Amino acid sequence: MSKDKNIVHIFTDGACKGNPGPGGWGAIMKYGDHVKELNGYSSKTTNNIMEITAVIEALKSLTRPCAIILTT
């Protein structure tokens, strides 16, 4: 059993076409054998807004306090 089994691993990314322009964000969250995927879009945004939105939405989806490893 892994020593970090109680850690949530979060991987995020965001991008847009044009700056500003239409864009999207995504996050993958791994906890033990569980995987959760999140995503969204905006019709007019920037790459920086999509990057930080991915992180914010992933953190908002956590259901209890926990340790995380965030990779962006």
CA–CA separation, 3 vs 56, rounded Å? 26
CA–CA separation, 38 vs 33, rounded Å? 17
CA–CA separation, 4 vs 53, rounded Å? 26
25-53 pLDDT tens trace: 999 999 999 999 999 999 999 999 999 99
**Residue 2: pLDDT over 80:** no
**Residue 55: pLDDT over 90:** yes
> CB atoms < 10 A from the CB of 67, how many?
8
CB 22 within 8 A of CB 62: no
> CB atoms < 10 A from the CB of 56, how many?
13
Domains of the chain: 7-71 (3.30.420.10)
Model-level pTM?
0.90
**Residue 3: pLDDT over 90:** no
